[in-house]
């Protein structure tokens, strides 16, 4: 694959983002234009490694390789040779939405690249994004409705990446698919959970429009639960279809129940991100219906993608200061001895939000081994500061270091500490069994819940994870639903 000596001749050269000081003035995507020559050289670095760990996911721990089995060496080689149309065909064989993963996936494939044993890996994610963007630009991506219908009806509850992937596949198999979304726009996490500068919503809407043309029906403002308070009764919905998929995500956030938690100014990350994107799309923020970080001392508690997105959004609002608490120790710059290739490298990384905060405030915003222990107010219910402390790991648990408390100015605190599982309105209405982590109990590879007509996929089944893993689960669940409905399946 690629050029025989390409991995010796060319270094890794990832596509740069827009200038951080310039880009925090808008909510446009952070990416620069694709450079075909640079991408061809990255494709040339693909080294005919024999066993392509990049496309071979770790089926036990899920910490390495591509969860959707992308045929990475094949489209690397095709881009190197300039065969972009063929590269798009190979990409679409395994991935319904490469325009999403090419933008927001952390690229476990790159962590498992064989070249990464001794050198920086191939810029796989850049190549993926360039292939699909070119496909849309050239008109190669077009609606492909099924040639025949099966007469079977399927409902999908939740329009995030798992639900959309399942809907696309089930529609391809010829079933009549209706997707129900409680928000006013389709996309779930893709629409309101990921901010515009990382995934422009026109990119999401472009794919939704394509699926509509292929025959998928979408229903918005449709909260599915027990029928109370204006919700759609899921029991009636199940009776009306041949199979139902739950892809509602893991939307119950982890809280920080410390003194002062009820003060005005302490918010969950998704409250902040969702309101920001909705206001941006509705009125370009003219309606003021969002949590504004302008001129505020902002502290984000928790790291990961959600924490970074809170940083990037607060920077665009024009925050006064920005600090990010992470309770974990600072990661090493290179792999630790217990973190060997091809597992995901737990190393120090500078994401787009960190880069932006550092460019404006001349320091990395992160403070490691630290978390809040008390929120403090002005006596009138408004947050003004917090007390934070150092933490250490004792017997596998985080323990506060006595005497390490110190005060921080804080007008806005955003809790980005991960998620517990799905909201239980649907599960309770159907009497579904749950696993010990409160997710819907449905085995990997089968996806069937304790209700014979109900399946589950994505974060609501497996717990909080990546967009690319949600797509994988949606595809696999669609395959098993098709098998259950038809006796056999031709879906991958």
User: What was the pLDDT predicted at 64?
Assistant: 86
Least reliable range by pLDDT among 58-67, 179-188, 342-351, 428-437: 58-67
Banded model confidence at residue 312, pLDDT cuts 50, 70, 90 = very high
User: What was the pLDDT predicted at 345?
Assistant: 94
Which domains, ranges and CATH numbers included, belong to the chain?
Answer: 6-137 (1.10.1060.10), 153-251+420-486 (3.50.50.60), 255-417 (3.50.50.60)
Average pLDDT, stretch 283-306? 97
Residue from 177, 92, 81, 83 nearest 132 by CA: 92
Average pLDDT, stretch 349-359? 98
Average pLDDT, stretch 84-105? 98
Least reliable range by pLDDT among 57-66, 209-218, 304-313, 457-466: 57-66
Average pLDDT, stretch 312-329? 98
- Strand order across the beta sheet in which 321-326 lies: 266-268, 412-415, 297-301, 321-326, 366-368
User: What was the pLDDT predicted at 50?
Assistant: 87
- The model's pTM is 0.96
User: What was the pLDDT predicted at 56?
Assistant: 85
User: What was the pLDDT predicted at 58?
Assistant: 77
C-alpha 395/C-alpha 98 separation (Å) is 41
55 has a pLDDT exceeding 80: yes
Go through 451-481 and write b for each residue having 16 or more CB atoms within 10 A of its CB, e for each that does not. bebbbbbbbbbbbbbbbbbbbbbbbbbbbbb
In the chain, % of residues over pLDDT 70: 99
In the chain, % of residues over pLDDT 90: 96
C-alpha 488/C-alpha 354 separation (Å) is 49
Per-residue pLDDT tens digits for 126-143: 999 999 999 999 999 999
Banded model confidence at residue 60, pLDDT cuts 50, 70, 90 = low
Average pLDDT, stretch 187-201? 98
User: What was the pLDDT predicted at 2?
Assistant: 80
Phi, psi of 227 (to 5 degrees): 95, -10
62 has a pLDDT exceeding 70: no
61 has a pLDDT exceeding 70: no
Per-residue pLDDT tens digits for 428-455: 999 999 999 999 999 999 999 999 999 9
Please provide the average confidence, as pLDDT, over all residues in the chain.
Answer: 96
C-alpha 252/C-alpha 369 separation (Å) is 25
User: What was the pLDDT predicted at 48?
Assistant: 86
72 has a pLDDT exceeding 90: yes
C-alpha 421/C-alpha 254 separation (Å) is 9
C-alpha 99/C-alpha 11 separation (Å) is 25
112 has a pLDDT exceeding 70: yes
Average pLDDT, stretch 158-184? 98
End-to-end CA distance of the chain: 24
Say whether the peptide bond before residue 342 is cis (omega within 30 degrees of 0): yes
1 has a pLDDT exceeding 90: no
The two three-digit tokens of residue 112, written as one number: 């498992």
59 has a pLDDT exceeding 70: no
């Amino acid at each position: 694959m690629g050029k025989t000596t390409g991995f010796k001749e060319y270094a890794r050269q990832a596509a740069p983002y827009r200038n951080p000081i310039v880009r925090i003035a808008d909510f446009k995507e952070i990416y620069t234009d694709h450079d075909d020559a640079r991408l061809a050289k990255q494709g040339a670095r693909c080294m005919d490694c024999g066993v392509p760990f990049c496309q071979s996911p770790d089926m036990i721990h899920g910490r390495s390789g591509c969860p959707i089995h992308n045929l990475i060496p094949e489209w690397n080689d095709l881009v190197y040779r300039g065969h972009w149309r063929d590269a798009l065909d190979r990409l679409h064989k395994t991935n319904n939405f490469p325009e999403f993963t090419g933008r927001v996936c952390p690229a476990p494939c790159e962590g498992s690249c064989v070249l990464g044993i001794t050198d920086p890996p191939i810029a796989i994610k850049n190549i993926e994004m360039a292939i699909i963007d070119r496909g849309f630009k050239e008109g190669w991506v077009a609606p492909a409705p099924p040639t025949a219908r099966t007469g079977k009806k399927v409902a999908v509850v939740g329009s995030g990446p798992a639900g959309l992937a399942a809907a696309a596949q089930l529609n391809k198999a010829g079933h009549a698919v209706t997707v129900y979304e409680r928000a006013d726009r389709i996309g779930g996490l893709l629409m309101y959970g990921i901010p515009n500068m990382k995934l422009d919503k026109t990119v999401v809407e472009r794919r939704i429009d394509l699926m509509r043309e292929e025959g998928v029906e979408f229903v918005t403002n449709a909260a599915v639960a027990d029928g109370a308070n204006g919700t759609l009764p899921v029991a009636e919905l199940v009776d009306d279809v041949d199979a139902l998929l739950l892809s509602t995500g893991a939307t119950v956030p982890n809280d920080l129940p410390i003194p002062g938690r009820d003060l005005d100014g302490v918010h969950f990350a998704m409250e902040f991100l969702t309101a920001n994107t909705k206001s941006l799309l509705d009125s370009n923020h003219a309606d003021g219906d969002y949590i504004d970080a302008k001129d505020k001392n902002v502290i984000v508690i928790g790291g990961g993608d959600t924490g970074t997105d809170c940083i990037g959004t607060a920077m665009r609002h024009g925050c006064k200061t920005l600090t990010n608490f992470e309770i974990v120790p600072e990661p090493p710059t290179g792999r630790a001895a217990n973190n060997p290739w091809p597992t995901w490298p737990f190393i120090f990384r500078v994401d787009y939000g960190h880069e932006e905060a550092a460019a404006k405030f001349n320091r990395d915003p992160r403070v490691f081994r630290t978390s809040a222990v008390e929120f403090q107010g002005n006596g009138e219910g408004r947050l003004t500061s917090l007390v934070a402390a150092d933490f250490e790991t004792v017997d596998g648990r985080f323990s506060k270091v006595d005497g390490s408390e110190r005060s921080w100015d804080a007008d806005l605190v955003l809790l980005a500490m991960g998620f517990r599982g799905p909201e239980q309105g649907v599960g309770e209405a159907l009497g579904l069994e749950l696993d010990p982590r409160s997710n819907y109990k449905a085995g990997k590879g089968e996806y069937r819940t304790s209700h014979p007509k109900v399946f589950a996929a994505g974060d609501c089944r497996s717990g909080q994870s990546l967009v690319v893993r949600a797509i994988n689960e949606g595809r696999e669940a669609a395959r098993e639903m098709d098998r259950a409905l038809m006796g056999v399946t031709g879906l991958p």
